[in-house]
Chains A and B, each alone.
Chain A
Amino acid sequence: MPLLDVRDLSVVFQRKGAKPFTAVDGVNFTVEPGQTVGLVGESGCGKSVTSLAIMGLLPRRGNKVSGEVRFEDTDLLKLRPQELRDRRGRDIGMIFQDPLSSLNPVLPLGLQVAEVLERHQGRTRQAALREARNLLDAVGIPDPTRRLKEFPHQLSGGMRQRALIAIALACKPRLLIADEPTTALDVTIQAQILTLLKQLVEESGTALVMITHDLGVVAGLCDTVNVLYAGKVVERAERHDLFAEPRHPYTHGLLQSVPRLDVDRGGRLHQIRGSVSDNIPWPEGCAFAPRCDRVNDACIGETVPLEPTFRGGALRCTNPVPQEVPA
């Protein structure tokens, strides 16, 4: 049984006097225990909204969430706020993009880590702080005893992100959702954090949902990758398959348009023409059709379904990039 099973998740933002906006449109994916699953896409594709919807962190008003988010055998979307609060931080941890704005600037670090332990494990402040020290040590923060009394502004960006990881992993959750955890960091610090995440996830057997726009990060970390475009999953594959033989024209184009460090200085980059349109025209066909090189009549008119591929992935395309026939 999958640990997390997201079925037909949709999020529609509604505002008075404005057209409803579908940010996430029927997203399906599963996460097995201990697995690392990637959600990749460009800004506005709905990857962050998906993660917020799973955690029940979207504002209560102004949006409509439908579908199912099954965590083991409970549907998280049906839980009452109180029940959800009991699970957040205990069963599911979350790491956000900007560590400075997700830490409380007026509370010492130790208290922020200990808080989670007090809330979920009913420990005393003393015991929680002792455990907090060990957690900070485990994520590689130097001199953890002194750090307990310090404030977020006294730490560098990389250290803040480590602290955030310590908070997320405090209760040994079975699932960790990381929303662009390294986007605000420099590459050498990013390498530190990714190595740490990988190590912790392997040691504790925590499943990880990695949300990122960086295809390079996904290539090194994820078992299965979901590519999102305009609120829908357009392609899902095991990472080796996805990078070796992308089938969806969007994935294909995206991979070709990334300048790569290990390729000689070339002429032009492949470019995907145009840009993501604001109103998602999925009901009238494929949202990528206006930018697609392989567009045909079948792409316009009705929604293209997500079909399973024989390699265990899934693809939403009527005219996919041909596969090389194995010899």
Chain B
Amino acid sequence: MSEALVEIDDLKVHFPIKSGLLFDRTVGYVYAVDGVSLKVKRGETYGLVGESGCGKSTLGRGLLRLVEPTSGGITFDGTDVRSLKGEEMRLFRRRIQMVFQDPLSSLDPRQSVESLLVEGLKAHGLHKDKADVQKRLKSTLDSVGLPASALNKYPHEFSGGQRQRIGIARALVLGPELIVADEPVSALDVSIQAQVVNLLGDLQESLGLTYLVIAHDLAVVRHISDTIGVMYLGSLVEEADGDQLYERPLHPYTRALMSAVPVPDPQVEDRRERILLAGDLPSPANPPTGCRFHTRCPWAQPTRCADERPQLRVFDDSGQRVACHYAEEILSGELKMHEVRAEIVRPDSDTAPDVGAELIQTRTDLPAP
């Protein structure tokens, strides 16, 4: 099962920034997704990680054309998704379903669970046979671990974990091939999170589903994903098999991200090396030139990193892909970390970062506390 179910080729989603009272004038673009290419194999889980604002959710929405991509290609099981029109696209969505982050706000509070689930069936004309519908609803609820009595209840009557199960049931009821799960567990408590993570695994096993899981929690993603893609400011900076990525992170951003994730073990925490990144994520409306990460990268080299945008390239036989000019030198230890000065970053600003602002120094070589 190694054929690609989904192929995304150089996908770009740019949002225009409008201004002006009478006439809408486009004054710039937010480069939310800026040239991402990836393949999701049938039956696997592809995990997409990144911090808020890196474009991971937009990528997921772009895949379903919930936001219209600016350019690039999406192929799903041989079908060119971007060429589908109106009704074709609507019917096609049956094959790709989405699970959202916040189970309470993504479920209509005035609809019973039954009506929530039937709505999708109606949209695809599958509601005609009453007995069949009932059977379908019950088996779906059963597969997500909810009792059949849940059908007559409303979302507020359930706990957070159960609501997320309803969200999953709603996606499953149409029998999709791909489920795009946007932060499926981040709103849940730890003990409930484990239940939902296990449920997703069980469903994949029994139904042969393919997942695209979008999350900011690297530990969760590592637990459930076969392949992990790391995003930074609209582009994929590294992609590898989950264990490989943990064993040998190549991109400086991946390294920093991994070192920042707290591990619930004091002995590990006391010993580990931390790479503290200076400053904040730059604005996607005004991304840095060259490598998007060079403003915060402790390994950044003069000129090339700022001038030339590194392409995602295959690093070696393992199939690990990385977008860094100096991945080899960093891995071999030839390049040493240096101090990075933090630049002030304005939230929601479309202007350049303060040039000439007084800069602070952040220690990147902080010894393990």
* A241→B264 CA distance, assembly (Å): 12
Contact count A vs B, C-beta below 8 Å: 173
The one of B191, B193, B261 that contacts A253, using a Cβ cutoff of 8 Å: B191
Contact B189 A260 (CB under 8 A): no
The one of A142, A159, A191, A255 that contacts B274, using a Cβ cutoff of 8 Å: A191
A269 and B198 in contact (CB under 8 A), knowing A142-B342, A155-B347?
yes
A interface, size bucket? 35 or more
> Of B107-115, B172-180, B216-224, B306-314, which stretch is located at the interface?
B216-224
* A267→B223 CA distance, assembly (Å): 8
Contact A187 B261 (CB under 8 A): yes
Cβ-based interface call for B346 (8 A): yes
Contact B190 A195 (CB under 8 A): no
> Of A21-29, A115-123, A209-217, A293-301, which stretch is located at the interface?
A209-217
> Of A4-12, A101-109, A270-278, which stretch is located at the interface?
A270-278
Chain B hits for A219, CB < 8 A:
262-266, 268-269
Cβ-based interface call for A131 (8 A): no
* A19→B52 CA distance, assembly (Å): 41
* A78→B67 CA distance, assembly (Å): 57
Cβ-based interface call for A243 (8 A): yes
Contact B264 A216 (CB under 8 A): yes
Task: Kindly report which residue of chain B lies nearest to residue A242, judged by CB atoms.
Answer: B266
Task: Kindly report which residue of chain A lies nearest to residue B187, judged by CB atoms.
Answer: A43
Cβ-based interface call for B75 (8 A): no
Distance (whole angstroms) from the CB of A255 to the closest CB of chain B: 6
Cβ-based interface call for B201 (8 A): yes
Contact B274 A195 (CB under 8 A): yes
* A121→B360 CA distance, assembly (Å): 29
CB-CB contacts below 8 Å: A263-307 with B: 264-273, 275-276
Cβ-based interface call for B277 (8 A): yes
The one of B261, B270, B362, B366 that contacts A140, using a Cβ cutoff of 8 Å: B362
Contact B246 A42 (CB under 8 A): no
Cβ-based interface call for B197 (8 A): yes
* A145→B358 CA distance, assembly (Å): 9
Distance (whole angstroms) from the CB of B289 to the closest CB of chain A: 21
Contact B264 A271 (CB under 8 A): no
Cβ-based interface call for B369 (8 A): yes
The one of A42, A154, A156, A258 that contacts B280, using a Cβ cutoff of 8 Å: A156
Contact A261 B258 (CB under 8 A): yes
**Which B residues are closer than 8 A to A by beta carbons?**
51-52, 159-162, 189-195, 197-198, 201, 216-220, 222-225, 242-243, 246, 256-270, 274, 276-277, 279-281, 342-347, 354, 357-360, 362, 366, 369
**Which A residues are closer than 8 A to B by beta carbons?**
42-43, 140-143, 145-146, 153-159, 186-192, 194-195, 198, 213-220, 239-240, 243-244, 253-255, 257-262, 264-273, 275-276
